[in-house]
Amino acid sequence: MRNHRRDTPTISDVAAKAGVSAATVSRVMNGRFVGDPAVAERVREAATALQYSPSPLARGLALGQTKTVAFVVPDLGNPTCQELLHRLTKAAARDGYRVLVADSDECAEDEALLAIETRRRCDCLVLCAPRMPDKVLARLAPRLRPLLLVNRPAPGPDVPSLSVDYRAGASQLARHLHDLGHRRFVHLTSTATSTSEAERQRGLDDFTAGTDGVVVHRLACGTSTADGHAATGAVLASGATAALAHNDLVAIGLLAGLTENGHRVPADISVAGFDDIPLARHVTPPLTTVSVPWEEIGAQAWQRLHAQITGQDAGPSVTYRPHLVARATTAPVARP
């Protein structure tokens, strides 16, 4: 049988060269050795001579920490999740942490399992699980700490969260269209049940309850540009003069579908989205939307989670109020 030469030095090699036990080498490498300084120096010299580098996994086990953050999201393909991940990763890296991502693929049944599994492998968890029932989340929270919720309110005062006032954002968007003279809306709602979608619908209900003569036709839709594009025919059949999509991707898909069918936006029909993803300002015409401060939420997520890790107060939960960004896809309703 052929012997393969092992080129990578191990902790046992360092221990043999320094004349100590492997446990002593581990304590020296992890900064937990409290014995004779000369022994520690001998171990470090042996490690240098052998070009030994401790395994990050072994080091994490020895120290009781992995220096990684779990981030569970419903759809990593969604630009809002990407923005959150980008900001969280940059903020955590400044403190020497890395981010491990798990995507539930919009499956509510998988969110709880993914949260538990990723938390076991990491020191803390940022959980974006908009479809997880409050009762399930409240039961899981003690097992997941240190924990921070993003994009949904907490089920109780002991779980810190960074959420968005989708209700106010939807009502604000409806008011904008009403001020432009629109009275018949079509709302492209998400086919998946989530806290954010429920709040958007409440916001529209608030507006219609306090405003005479407004009709909102709800049309179930997916989350992608393809879903928005596929909804074009149903939107036109509704007779609405303005379409509100539950996210920007759907609005952009609808915008393309309307243009392909010879309809002018906003001369024939106004279109608006939600989230203000970077692409929203670069489509033609630029998309009217409701802007959510995802960059700030991502940065704050790490600050509050790091506070928990280091035994500090994470601070109170925060609800961010989005604001309207009126661009070129909305205009006064066309008059006969």
In the sheet where 242-245 sits, what is the strand order?
Answer: 215-221, 184-190, 242-245, 270-272
Number of structural domains found in the chain: 3
Task: Give the CA distances from residue 212 to residues 26, 38, 171, 173, 241, in Å, rounded to whole numbers and listed in that order.
Answer: 73, 84, 14, 17, 17
Flag whether 6 is in a domain.
no
Compute CA 15 distance to the chain's CA centroid, rounded to the nearest angstrom: 45
Residue 152 lies in a domain: yes
Same domain, 173 and 252: yes
Distance CA 147, CA 207 (A): 35
Contacts of 78 (CB under 8 A, 6+ apart): 223, 247, 249
Identify whether residues 256 and 300 lie together within a single domain: no
Q: pTM of this prediction?
A: 0.80
- Which of 154, 166, 150 has the alpha carbon at shortest distance from 291? 166
241 domain residue, yes or no: yes
Pair 80, 131 in one domain: yes
Same domain, 78 and 119: yes
Same domain (yes/no): 240, 306: no
**DSSP classification of residue 286:** P
Q: How far apart (Å, rounded) are the C-alpha atoms in residues 131 and 106?
A: 8
pLDDT (tens digit, 9 = 90+) per residue, 90-145?
Answer: 999 999 999 999 999 888 788 899 999 999 889 999 999 988 988 999 999 999 99
- Under 8 Å between Cβ of 223 and 190: yes
Structural domain boundaries enclosing 170: 166-292
Domain-embedded: residue 52: yes
Residues 6 or more apart from 21 whose CB is under 8 A from it? 15
Question: Given 48, 63, 78, which residue is the final one in a domain?
Answer: 63
Instruction: Indicate if 136 and 238 belong to the same structural domain.
Output: no
Residue 5 lies in a domain: no
* Closest among 268, 260, 206 to 228, alpha carbons compared: 260
* Pair (276, 232) in one structural domain: yes
Residue 329 belongs to a domain: no
Residue 202 inside a domain? The answer is yes
Q: What is the pLDDT of residue 319?
A: 96
CATH number at residue 43: 1.10.260.40
Q: Which of 292, 311, 329 is the last residue before a domain boundary? A: 292
Confidence at residue 3, expressed as pLDDT on a 0 to 100 scale: 41
Q: Is 336 helix (H, G, I), strand (E, B) or coil?
A: coil
- The reply to whether 193 and 226 lie within a common domain is yes
Task: Specify whether 150 is located in the same domain as 201.
Answer: no
How many helices (H) and strands (E) in the chain? 13, 12
Q: What is the pLDDT along the chain (336 residues), one digit of tens a residue?
A: 334 445 678 888 888 988 988 888 877 877 777 788 888 899 889 888 888 876 555 555 454 578 999 999 999 989 999 999 999 999 999 999 999 999 998 887 888 999 999 998 899 999 999 889 889 999 999 999 999 999 999 888 888 999 999 999 999 999 999 999 999 999 999 977 788 999 999 999 999 999 999 999 999 999 999 999 999 999 999 999 999 999 999 999 999 999 999 999 999 999 999 999 999 999 999 999 999 999 999 999 999 999 999 889 888 999 999 999 999 999 999 875
Mutual orientation of helices 37-50 and 22-29 as an angle, nearest 10°? 90
Do 46 and 188 fall within a single domain?
no
Q: Does some domain include residue 326?
A: no
Residue 260's pLDDT is what? 97
Domain harbouring 84, CATH code? 3.40.50.2300
